[in-house]
């Protein structure tokens, strides 16, 4: 997401662009998830649809024969990439999306999907129109308020090194300036080579932290790249230890489902990890 977006800019976006999406009921139908889930015959539970562009977006969770989650993701209809807010006066669109109501515990609480029509800071890296997709492990009541007296102190508290995914680093500079209000600090994978002048942003996978804990995983990708209907599958870098017991993804993928006409963004291979 936004390694160094300013507090003022984000605060305006949060006030003007928030949309809260309800979850599906217990009668959620079976649906097709990612290619991986489909191949393994997993049950796919889907959340409620919410309008985006000229189409819609929804969350989903796939469940194995034992009732355990093995994938969490977002499906975005092809038409959703058309008719998005654009132009000089367009602001960020933010959608808060619940997971399917009848899905088993996944270790994730909700998903926040953002459309950034003008990109965001640092513009030299992330200035292209793109989507941010936060998979939060914390609840929706984020208390990351820059007006709080202890904001700088809590922002400067980073997770212990053993909990940091291999190869991930925080943005350079003061922690309080690099912590996005109501979201957290965004860590990048050094292997992505996000260096001004040499980085051609198409898609990245970020991690987010606040007050010493990792709180979300975030795919971020440009609309231009999505329109090519890419097919990628990557390993998710793991830490040496985990802060809380729960399911964690081992792979990340983006693809296009020709049958349904959806873009599918997935965190797969959910594996139970014990806190240590």
Tell me: the pLDDT tens digits for 229-269?
Answer: 999 999 999 999 999 999 999 999 999 999 999 999 999 99
User: Radius of gyration over alpha carbons of the chain, in Å?
Assistant: 18
Q: How confident is the model at residue 20 (pLDDT cuts 50, 70, 90)?
A: very low
Q: How confident is the model at residue 57, as a pLDDT?
A: 98
Residue 203 lies in a domain: yes
Dihedrals phi, psi of 148, to nearest 5 degrees? -70, 145
The two tokens of residue 213 are: 């804990």
Q: Report the domain count for the chain.
A: 1
The two tokens of residue 87 are: 């132009």
**Residue 74 pLDDT more than 70?**
yes
Residue 100 lies in a domain: yes
Q: Residue 111 pairs with which residues in a beta bridge?
A: 97, 135
Contacts of 72 (CB under 8 A, 6+ apart): 59, 60, 61, 62, 99, 106, 108, 135, 249, 266, 267, 270
Q: How confident is the model at residue 209, as a pLDDT?
A: 93
Q: How confident is the model at residue 200 (pLDDT cuts 50, 70, 90)?
A: confident
Per DSSP, the three-state class of 265 is strand
Q: How confident is the model at residue 199, as a pLDDT?
A: 61
Averaged pLDDT for residues 171-192: 83
Residue 1 lies in a domain: no
**Residue 21 pLDDT more than 60?**
no
Residue 174 lies in a domain: yes
Residue 2 lies in a domain: no
Could you read off the pLDDT of 78-134 as tens digits, one per residue?
999 999 988 888 888 989 999 999 999 999 999 999 998 886 655 545 678 899 999
Which of 252, 251, 155, 249 is CA-nearest to residue 208? 155
Q: How confident is the model at residue 41 (pLDDT cuts 50, 70, 90)?
A: low
Q: How confident is the model at residue 142, as a pLDDT?
A: 62
Q: How confident is the model at residue 7, as a pLDDT?
A: 36
**31 close to 15: Cβ distance less than 8 angstroms:** no
Residue 198 lies in a domain: yes
Only one residue has tokens 């606040």, namely: 210
- Give this prediction's pTM: 0.82
Residue 226 lies in a domain: yes
Domain span including residue 164: 7-273
Residue 156 lies in a domain: yes
Averaged pLDDT for residues 129-153: 86
**Residue 175 pLDDT more than 70?**
yes
| Mean per-residue pLDDT of the chain | 82
Averaged pLDDT for residues 17-38: 41
Q: How confident is the model at residue 156, as a pLDDT?
A: 92
């Amino acid at each position: 997401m936004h390694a160094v977006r300013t507090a003022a800019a984000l605060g305006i976006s949060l006030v003007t662009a928030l949309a809260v999406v309800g979850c599906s009921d217990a009668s959620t139908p079976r649906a097709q998830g990612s290619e991986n889930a489909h191949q393994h015959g997993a049950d796919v539970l889907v959340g409620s649809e919410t309008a985006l562009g000229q189409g819609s977006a929804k969350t989903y969770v796939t469940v194995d024969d034992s009732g355990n989650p093995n994938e969490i993701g977002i499906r975005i209809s092809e038409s959703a990439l058309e008719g998005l807010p654009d132009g000089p006066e367009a602001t960020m669109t933010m959608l808060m999306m619940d997971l399917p109501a009848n899905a088993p515990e996944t270790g994730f609480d909700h998903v926040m999907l953002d459309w950034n029509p003008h990109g965001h800071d640092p513009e030299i890296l992330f200035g292209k129109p793109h989507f941010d997709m936060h998979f939060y492990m914390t609840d929706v009541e984020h208390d990351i308020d820059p007006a709080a007296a202890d904001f700088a102190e809590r922002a400067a508290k980073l997770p212990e090194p053993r909990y940091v995914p291999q190869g991930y680093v925080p943005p350079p500079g003061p922690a309080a300036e690099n912590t996005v209000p109501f979201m957290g600090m965004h860590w990048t994978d050094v292997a992505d080579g996000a260096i001004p002048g040499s980085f051609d942003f198409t898609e990245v996978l970020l991690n987010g932290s606040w007050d010493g804990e990792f709180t979300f995983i975030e795919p971020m990708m440009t609309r231009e790249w999505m329109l090519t209907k890419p097919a990628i599958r990557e390993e998710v870098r793991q830490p040496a230890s985990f802060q809380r017991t729960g399911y964690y993804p081992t792979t990340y993928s983006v693809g296009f489902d020709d049958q349904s006409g959806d873009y599918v963004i997935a965190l797969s291979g959910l594996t139970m990890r014990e806190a240590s």
